[in-house]
Amino acid sequence: MTAAEALRAAVLRLRDAGVDDPARDARALLAHAMGLPADRLTLHLPDALDAAQEAAFHAAIAARAARQPVAQITGERLFWGRAFRVTPDTLDPRPETERLVEEALSRPFVRMLDLGTGTGCILISCLLGMKMATGLGTDLSAPALKVAEANAARHGLTRARFQAGDWFAGIPGRFDLIVSNPPYIAQGEMAGLAPEVRDWEPHGALTPGGDGLDAYRAIARGAPARLMPGGRLLLEIGPTQGAAVSALLAAQGLTAIRVLPDLDGRDRVVAAVAPGDADSCGCA
């Protein structure tokens, strides 16, 4: 069987399974099975698949038809121009989260905290873009922390540390940048999520239950004591949560609160600043 023949059959199978973009996913999985960069696949479509490649592609398409995310099948996802390891113990890094990284890198920082680090993609991307900075990533999930540590090692980053933690518990000192992409999906919204998210990603990283705001309440309470004067807090949010999260931060005395859109124009990040002189914490 040629790669082109296998691809045609796979696209039909994924379409029947309800996958949103069956051609894109089938091509990505075929390139993975053949050990090729995705942009080289077209040149090799006339090639015959060997037995190992055919078996690997068949297994990958079966997994995708069961709605397992592509990143879990291939084991990695591109984020901010770099490949990060992904497992069922971590959220799949999403393009809209890059808005948070973009904002983080818009001003200098020297000491960063990433709450609920998951794959570590936010922390690692920020530190690689800010050469003098160090950072700490925390997570309740020990398996997720192992993934984050592996991703830091993969990118040769020695300025990141990782530790188990429940928001600010057990974290010493202050930071001039605190970031988080916390669980924010309301419990009532979980059933309506795509199967790739609802059935395959860790629920603890998706929802805190209730109205989806509990993580923001905890972060808002703890952030003022952990931010240097003039330090920044950046939080990813759901597209309807900007006003509620802004109010929580304002109630704790944080200032310069802004709601930032992603590339699709949806509210995506809430930014706030601790009162005080930014020059004292490494911010411009």
Give the number of other Cβ atoms within 10 Å of residue 245's Cβ.
26
Widest distance between CA atoms in the chain? 67
In tens digits, the chain (284 residues) has pLDDT values of 999 999 999 999 999 999 999 999 999 999 999 999 999 999 999 999 999 999 999 999 999 999 999 999 999 999 999 999 999 999 999 999 999 999 999 999 999 999 999 999 999 999 999 999 999 999 999 999 999 999 999 999 999 999 999 999 999 899 999 999 999 999 999 999 999 999 999 999 999 999 999 999 999 999 999 999 999 999 999 999 999 999 999 999 999 999 999 999 999 999 999 998 755 554 44
Does residue 231 share a domain with residue 170? yes
Structural domains in the chain (count): 2
Q: Which residue has the tokens 């006339």?
A: 46
Does residue 92 share a domain with residue 62? no
List, in order, residues 6 or more apart from 67 with CB less than 8 Å away. 17, 18, 19, 194, 195, 196, 199, 200
Does residue 144 share a domain with residue 15? no
Does residue 101 share a domain with residue 42? no
Helix, strand, coil content of the chain in percent (nearest 5): 45, 20, 35
Does residue 169 share a domain with residue 241? yes
Q: Which residue has the tokens 């904002």?
A: 103
> Does the residue 82 lie in any domain?
no
Identify whether the C-beta of residue 264 lies closer than 8 Å to the C-beta of residue 98: no
